């Protein structure tokens, strides 16, 4: 359902060209839970931004549910984002002027869902993240873990097919991080596809599929292992296996 | 997809900035509507029809100091000299110069002074049968003076028997409209109305009755004598330049002062109104500019403060137009409350000006159009920063600061 | 510490140049507009003779019938008749008093060298010079004997003396006014007043007259006044003598009363005079009515500062209020965005007071800059005023008071606008901003 072929992303600053991603290939199937790891500056976030259509890419093909993302207008991308993708950010990104209810309502309004339906969904989502009693609170009145749960509720409210999580536990202590992770796993079990960027290897290991971004290129965990074996094999003087 | 309620809630929670904007808009509305009204009032006043071809006429004053001179005879020669200047249409002696701010007025009544009837105040010009021609005015009813009706005298021992009045004065004296042929009294002297002119302003435009004017066919050449000259428009400036020399050539024991074109004299008389008009215009323009810049600055500020929020909204699926709308709606809400309060303020400010400073009653249309104008300016000021906001990349949302 | 605050303010301004410029511009424009109208107002309403304005009184007598309307607020005519003015002028009390009226004369030297010109002339008693504090360059006022004998003498001003005699001492020399020869007894120093407070009838801001002549010459020379002449009832007037005996109002009258007692005595005197005149059946008035108004009261009564000017000053201050609201809004944004930095400062030991003062110093600097630029804008505005109206030429200037007032108003206005944002900021709880980024 998500496929990236030879995706590249070049940042052009005044004189220097930086290749954030190159020849990036990835296929994601319905219902997967993928953890993306990699060192800082490797291109994890760029990948996530492109996957979430937050940034245009420089070259390659990106298909999302048989839609060629590269050909879409800004508005079409915004709509697609709104309908199919839910975001969870490291910094939560709740809107400080809006209370929890209104925060969750934001993507639903952009989709043009009727007020009654919005109410039903928001309450359902708040219930799911265990904050139903706090609907009228402002974000700053909550702890970090609670705020992230609201952000998850906001991501879920639109019933997205994809959930993109950018270091969702980065600002949380380990207890809260575990709770958030459990919530994500539960959501995955209910059918949502999740791509989660993290640098926490312990969290990553809990995901069924791990991929690593190194120097703007994808190293699927299995592939990475194969490569490592290739190297071992090469050192042993054996021919490399075609990947 | 206008999100009024959440915008409103968000506003309530960051109220101080909004309140300042609101106060600014309210004050602007109140000030601009009143100032615009006063401006329009002054423009009406300054551009009113006076009845005269102002660009053809000039006037000056002759002060004579030759004790042995027969003034009447000398001025008759002077008039002839003036009329013979090429480009001059007509010229003659007057007791006062129209629109100049100095002249004479009297009470005309329907009964002689001894009976003390009620009178109607009117400015009057004294001149000969050329008066209307010199002033470029024609009789609309009745007739002009005949030469034999003009009294030339140094004293008031003999007074004319006829008068020409303006329509306004005729109506005030004879409300039934049958003024022509009737008699009015200048003190104890009876004057028969032989002609009526439609429009001819008196010396004082600011007078409460600037249209009450009479012409009396009486010439009393004095040592301090006004002369009015009508020329061909294009020749006026050239003739004015040589007039002093010609007048002194005509007779040396005199001084020429106050040589001025009629429109210039009128402008001098109205200088304080022109000044008020200009100052208010500058005030309005600068005020609107400051308000627009204020709205612009505050929006830029809000947008900078909310960059992350805007990126997040975009990430959550907001179209660019939705972001622009957000700021427009926010501004429109503050603005409409602001102009509402401002309109009430304008109304009361207008009442204060009316009561204490004799400014006419504020027309509510001015409040309404100012309010609409302020809203338009306000939305325009938001549009540019809002556009900038819409171009904030949604990828901001994933940046960690 | 203060210098440090100034340094911090300067850095803060540089950090947000657009917003700082907007704020300075707003205050500058506000001050510019306000100072333009305020300067004109200030010059118009300024006491023209501060140390004496409460001792000089303009006299008004109501010698009209009961029920007669006048355009003054109390229906009392502004000027006096000749017979009343001269009666008061020739009375024994008080010591200093003068009738006063304006005329226009052709000045010439009865030769070909000097081209005749018109001179505005003030016709007065000799007390006028001391009462209104005219200084003499040469000679002095005419004597009371000369005045009583209606001697043809004049005092000319410096400008006229320069024009006719090249600035030399002209006392004793002769000039011609119309067809009469006059001997010069004094030359006054140029009289610099912007409000012609002793005669407000024909333009309160016209220049003073350039020639002064004894009042007693009116009758023998049959001098026609130049100014307002108003009647209230019909009179047959054919000769100059009839005019002098008429009920026409055409002279002003001033007295100098130095104590409350003198004032009261003079009130009693006028009261008695009016009662006596009333018995001559000149007018029908049950209760004698008169006014003694000192210089400032007289200027107010004559509406020297026009309603337009007051409206403009009022609107300008409202305008300043708009600028303040504008600045307040921007300051709120600017200061609150700085809350994290303030949090750090607070954590490092800055007291609330220090934070508060730091921010007030910053707004004061904005005010100072705005005020200085505002003076420039006001000068531009005043130039525009002078350009539009000759009458205001001498009024549309800023004196030292106004020049100092501009930054003072700007700074106080900015501090006023800055107090709330500064207070909000200094209330910052350091902990909140240190926890999250």
Nearest CA in chain B to C110: B253
How much is the average pLDDT of B158-179? 92
The reply to whether C207 falls in a domain is yes
Do C175 and C154 form a contact (C-beta atoms < 8 A)? Answer: yes
pLDDT at position C45: 87
Q: What is the distance in angstroms between the Cα of B15 and the nearest Cα belonging to chain A?
A: 11
* Residue C56 within a domain: no
Q: Vertex C140, ends C139 and C144: CA angle to 5°?
A: 135
Neighbours of chain C (3+ CB pairs under 8 A): B
* CA within 13 Å, CB half, B54: 17
Question: B291 versus C391: which is more confidently predicted?
Answer: B291
Query: What CA–CA distances, in Å, run from C374 to C23, C349, C395?
Result: 12, 38, 19
Q: Assess whether C72 and C212 both reside in one domain.
A: yes
Residue of A nearest to B1 (CA): A112
Same domain, C122 and C261: yes
From the list C210, C166, C204, the residue with the least C-alpha distance to C188 is C210
Residue linked to tokens 């209330």: C427
B6 and chain A in contact, CB less than 8 A: yes
Of B10, B320, B397, the CB nearest to A97: B10
| Same domain as C93, residue C159 | yes
% of chain C residues with pLDDT over 70: 97
Q: Chains contacting A with at least 3 CB pairs below 8 Å?
A: B
Closest C-alpha to C329, from B15, B321, B195, B117: B15
**Per-position b or e across C220-246, b if 16+ CB within 10 A of its CB:** ebebebbbebebbebeebeeeeebbeb
**Best interface-test mutation with B: which of A94, A109, A135, A195 has the largest number of B CBs within 10 A?**
A109
The answer to whether residue C372 scores a pLDDT higher than 90 is yes
Using CA atoms, how far apart are residues A220 and A161, in angstroms rounded to an integer?
22
Neighbors of chain B by Cβ distance (3+ pairs < 8 Å): A, C
pLDDT digits (tens, 9 = 90+) for A153-195: 888 888 888 899 888 887 778 888 888 888 888 888 888 899 9
Residues C39 and C73 in one domain: no
Task: Work out the average pLDDT over C64-85.
Answer: 89
Chain B interface includes C65 (CB < 8 A): no
CB-based contacts of C177: which residues, under 8 Å, 6+ apart?
A: C105, C106, C107, C119, C121, C154, C211, C213
Angle at B178 between CA B177 and CA B179, to 5 degrees: 95
Residue A53 Ramachandran class (φ > 0 left, ψ -120 to 50 alpha, else beta): left
CATH 3.40.50.300 fits A2-235, yes or no: yes
B47-106, pLDDT tens digit by residue?
999 999 999 999 999 988 888 888 888 999 999 999 999 999 999 999 999 998 888 888
Q: Within a 10 A sphere around the Cβ of A229, how many other Cβ atoms? A: 13
pLDDT band at A74 (very low <50, low <70, confident <90, very high): confident
Q: Which residues of C152-176 are buried (b: 16+ CB within 10 A; e: fewer)?
A: bbbbbbbebbebbbeeeebbeeebb
Per-residue pLDDT tens over the stretch C182-219: 999 999 999 988 889 999 988 888 889 999 999 999 99
Count of other CB atoms within 10 angstroms of residue C122: 22
Cβ-based contacts of A95 with chain B (< 8 Å): 10, 309, 312-313
Q: Tell me whether residues B304 and C315 touch, CB distance under 8 A.
A: no
Rg for chain A (alpha carbons), in Å? 19
The answer, yes or no, to whether residue B24 has pLDDT greater than 50, is yes
**DSSP 3-state of C17:** helix
Task: Indicate the range of B7-21, B71-85, B232-246, B264-278 predicted with least confidence.
Answer: B7-21
Q: Give me the sign of the Cα torsion angle B259, B262, B268, B269.
A: positive
* B317·A90 Cβ contact <8 A: no
CB contact under 8 A, B359 and C311: yes
CA–CA distance from C82 to each of C152, C201, C269 (Å)? 20, 17, 18
Q: Say if the Cβ atoms of B293 and C224 lie within 8 Å.
A: no
Same domain, C250 and C211: yes
Let me know whether C275 and C316 are in one domain: no
> What's residue A238's pLDDT?
44
Q: What is the pLDDT of residue C436?
A: 47
Q: pTM of this prediction?
A: 0.81
Together in a domain, C121 and C154: yes
Shortest Cα distance, chain A CAs vs residue B318, angstroms: 6
Q: State whether C321 and C233 are in the same domain.
A: no
pLDDT at A241: 40
C273 found inside a domain: yes
Q: From the CA of B22, how many Å to the nearest CA of chain C? A: 9
Say yes or no for a CB contact (<8 Å) between C236 and B27. no
Measured on CA atoms in the order B90, B91, B95, B100, is the torsion positive or negative?
A: positive
Length of chain A: 243
- For residues C290-325, one letter each, b for 16 or more C-beta atoms within 10 angstroms of the residue's C-beta and e for the rest, the string is ebbbbbbebbebbebbbebbbbbbbbbebbbbbbbb
B21 is written with which tokens? 């904007």
Mutate to test the interface with B, among A46, A76, A97 (most CBs of B within 10 A): A97
Number of domains in chain C: 2
C204 or A228: whose pLDDT is higher? Answer: C204
From chain B, pick out residues whose CB is under 8 angstroms from the CB of C36: 279
Partner residue facing C319 (CB), from B20, B31, B273: B31
Please check whether residues C67 and C162 belong to one and the same domain: yes
Q: Of the candidates B156, B275, B296, which has its C-beta nearest C388's C-beta?
A: B275
C10 and C42, same domain (yes or no): yes
Instruction: Write out the DSSP string of B236-297.
Output: HHHHHHHHHHHHHHH-SSEEEEEEEEHHHHHHHHTHHHHHHHHHHHHHHHHHHHHHHHHHHH
**Lowest model confidence (mean pLDDT) among B175-189, B199-213, C3-17, C29-43:** C3-17
CB atoms within 10 A of CB C393: 13
Exposed e or buried b per residue across B141-175, where buried means at least 16 C-beta atoms within 10 angstroms of its C-beta: ebebbeeebbbbeeeeeebbebbbbbbbbbbbbbe
Look at residues C310, C414, C420, C309 and name the one whose alpha carbon lies nearest to residue C31: C414
- The answer, yes or no, to whether residue C378 has pLDDT greater than 80, is yes
Are the beta carbons of B393 and A93 separated by less than 8 Å?
Answer: no
pLDDT level of residue C370 (50, 70, 90 thresholds): very high
Chain A residues whose beta carbon lies within 8 Å of the beta carbon of residue B10: 95, 97-98
> Percentage of chain B with pLDDT > 70?
95
Q: Is C255 left (phi over 0), alpha (psi -120 to 50) or beta?
A: beta
| Spatial separation of the C-alpha atoms in residues B16 and C233, rounded to whole Å | 66
Task: Please give the average per-residue pLDDT across B330-350, as a whole number.
Answer: 92
Q: Which of C114, C231, C308 is the best residue to mutate to test the B interface, defined by the most B CB atoms within 10 Å of its own CB?
A: C308
Cα-flanking dihedrals φ and ψ of residue A33, to 5°? -125, 105
Q: Residue C6 belongs to what domain range?
A: 2-48+306-435
Contact call for A89 and B312, based on CB within 8 A? yes
pLDDT at B134: 95
Which residues are within 8 A (CB) of C314 and not within 5 positions of it... i.e. 6 or more apart? none
């Amino acid at each position: 359902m998500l496929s990236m072929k030879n995706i590249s992303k070049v940042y052009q600053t005044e004189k220097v060209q930086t290749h954030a991603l190159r020849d990036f290939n990835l296929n994601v199937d319905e219902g997967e839970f993928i953890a993306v790891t990699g060192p800082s500056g490797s291109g994890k976030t760029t990948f996530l931004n492109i996957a979430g259509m937050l940034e245009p890419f420089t070259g390659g093909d990106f298909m999302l549910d048989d839609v060629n993302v590269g050909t879409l207008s800004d508005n079409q991308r915004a709509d697609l984002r709104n309908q199919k993708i839910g975001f969870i950010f490291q910094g939560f990104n709740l809107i400080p002027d809006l209370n929890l209810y209104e925060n969750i309502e934001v993507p639903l309004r952009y989709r043009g869902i009727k007020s009654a339906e919005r109410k039903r969904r928001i309450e359902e989502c708040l219930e799911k993240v265990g904050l139903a009693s706090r609907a009228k609170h402002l974000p700053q009145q909550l702890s970090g873990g609670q705020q992230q749960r609201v952000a998850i509720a906001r991501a879920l409210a639109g019933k997205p097919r994809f959930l993109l999580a950018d270091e969702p536990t980065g600002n949380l202590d380990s207890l809260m991080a575990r709770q958030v992770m459990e919530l994500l796993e539960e959501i995955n079990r209910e059918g949502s596809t999740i791509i989660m960027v993290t640098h926490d290897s312990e969290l990553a290991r809990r995901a069924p599929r791990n991929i690593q971004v190194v120097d703007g290129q994808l190293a699927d965990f299995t592939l990475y292992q194969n490569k490592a074996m290739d190297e071992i094999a090469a050192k042993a003087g054996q021919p490399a296996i075609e990947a | 997809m206008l999100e009024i309620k959440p915008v409103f809630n968000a506003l309530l929670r960051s109220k101080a900035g909004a309140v300042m904007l609101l106060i600014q808009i309210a004050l602007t509305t109140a000030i601009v509507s009143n100032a615009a009204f006063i401006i329009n009032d002054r423009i009406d006043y300054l551009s009113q029809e006076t009845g005269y071809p102002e660009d053809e006429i000039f006037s000056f004053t002759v002060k004579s100091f030759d004790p042995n001179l027969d003034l009447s005879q000398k001025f008759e020669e002077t008039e002839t000299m003036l009329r013979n200047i090429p480009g001059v249409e007509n010229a003659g002696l007057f007791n006062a110069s129209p629109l100049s701010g100095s002249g004479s007025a009297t009470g005309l009544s329907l009964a002689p002074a001894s009976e003390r009837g009620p009178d109607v105040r009117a400015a009057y010009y004294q001149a000969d049968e050329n008066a209307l021609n010199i002033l470029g005015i024609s009789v609309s009813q009745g007739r002009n003076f005949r030469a034999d009706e003009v009294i030339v005298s140094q004293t008031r021992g003999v007074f004319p028997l006829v008068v020409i009045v303006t329509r306004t004065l005729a109506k005030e004296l004879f409300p039934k409209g049958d003024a022509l042929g009737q008699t009015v009294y200048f003190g104890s002297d009876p004057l028969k109305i032989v002609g009526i002119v439609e429009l001819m302003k008196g010396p004082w435009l600011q007078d409460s009755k600037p249209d009450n004017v009479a012409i009396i066919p009486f010439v009393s050449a004095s040592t301090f004598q006004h002369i009015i000259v009508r020329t061909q428009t294009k020749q006026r400036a050239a003739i004015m330049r040589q007039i002093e020399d010609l007048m002194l050539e005509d007779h040396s024991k005199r001084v020429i002062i106050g040589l001025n074109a009629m429109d210039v004299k009128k402008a001098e008389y109205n200088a304080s109104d022109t000044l008020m008009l200009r100052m208010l215009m500058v005030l309005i323009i600068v005020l609107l500019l400051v308000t627009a810049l204020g709205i612009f600055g505050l929006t830029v500020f809000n947008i900078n403060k909310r960059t992350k929020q805007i990126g997040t909204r975009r990430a959550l699926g907001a179209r660019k137009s939705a972001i622009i709308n957000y700021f427009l709606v926010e501004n429109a809400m503050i603005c409409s409350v602001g102009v509402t309060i401002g309109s009430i303020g304008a109304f009361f400010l207008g009442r204060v000006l009316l009561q204490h400073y004799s400014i006419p009653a504020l027309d509510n249309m001015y409040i309404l159009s100012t309010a609409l104008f302020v809203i338009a300016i306000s939305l325009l000021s938001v549009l540019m920063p809002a556009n900038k906001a819409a171009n904030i990349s949604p990828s901001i949302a994933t940046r960690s600061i | 510490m203060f210098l440090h605050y100034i340094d911090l303010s300067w850095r803060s301004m540089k950090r947000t140049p657009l917003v700082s410029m907007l704020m300075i511009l707003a205050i500058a424009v506000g001050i510019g507009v306000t100072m333009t109208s305020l300067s004109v107002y200030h010059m118009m309403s300024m006491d023209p003779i501060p140390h004496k304005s409460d001792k000089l009184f303009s006299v008004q007598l109501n010698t009209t019938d009961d029920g007669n309307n006048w355009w003054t607020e109390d229906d009392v005519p502004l000027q006096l008749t000749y017979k009343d003015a001269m009666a008061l002028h020739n009375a024994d009390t008080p010591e200093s008093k003068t009738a006063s009226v304006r005329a226009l004369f052709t000045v010439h030297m009865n030769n070909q060298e000097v081209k005749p010109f018109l001179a505005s002339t003030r016709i007065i008693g000799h007390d006028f010079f001391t009462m209104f504090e005219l200084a003499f360059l040469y000679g002095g006022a005419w004597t009371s004997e000369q005045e009583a004998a209606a001697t043809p003498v004049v005092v000319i001003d410096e400008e006229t003396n320069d024009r006719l005699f090249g600035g030399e001492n002209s006392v004793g020399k002769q000039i011609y006014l119309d067809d009469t020869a006059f001997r010069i007894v004094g030359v006054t120093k140029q009289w610099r007043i912007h409000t012609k407070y002793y005669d407000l009838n024909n333009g309160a801001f016209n220049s003073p007259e350039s020639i002064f002549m004894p009042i007693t010459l009116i009758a023998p020379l049959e001098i026609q006044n130049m100014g307002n002449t108003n009647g209230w009832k019909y009179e047959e007037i054919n000769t100059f003598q009839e005019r002098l005996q008429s009920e026409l109002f055409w002279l002003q009258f001033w007295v100098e009363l130095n104590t409350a007692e003198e004032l009261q005595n003079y009130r009693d005197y006028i009261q008695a005079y009016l009662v006596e005149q009333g018995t001559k059946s000149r007018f029908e008035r049950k209760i004698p009515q008169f006014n003694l108004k000192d210089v400032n009261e007289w200027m107010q009564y004559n509406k020297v500062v026009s309603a337009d000017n007051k409206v403009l000053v009022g609107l300008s201050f409202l305008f300043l209020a708009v600028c303040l609201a504008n600045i307040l809004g921007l300051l709120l944004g600017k200061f609150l965005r700085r809350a994290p930095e303030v949090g750090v400062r607070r954590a490092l030991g800055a007291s609330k007071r220090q934070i508060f003062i730091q921010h007030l110093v910053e707004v004061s600097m904005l005010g100072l800059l705005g005020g200085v630029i505002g003076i420039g804008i006001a000068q531009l505005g005043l130039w525009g005023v002078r350009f539009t109206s000759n009458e205001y030429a001498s009024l549309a200037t800023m004196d030292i008071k106004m020049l100092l007032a501009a930054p003072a108003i700007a700074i106080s206005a900015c501090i006023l606008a800055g107090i709330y944002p500064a207070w909000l900021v200094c209330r910052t709880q350091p902990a909140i901003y240190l926890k999250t980024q």
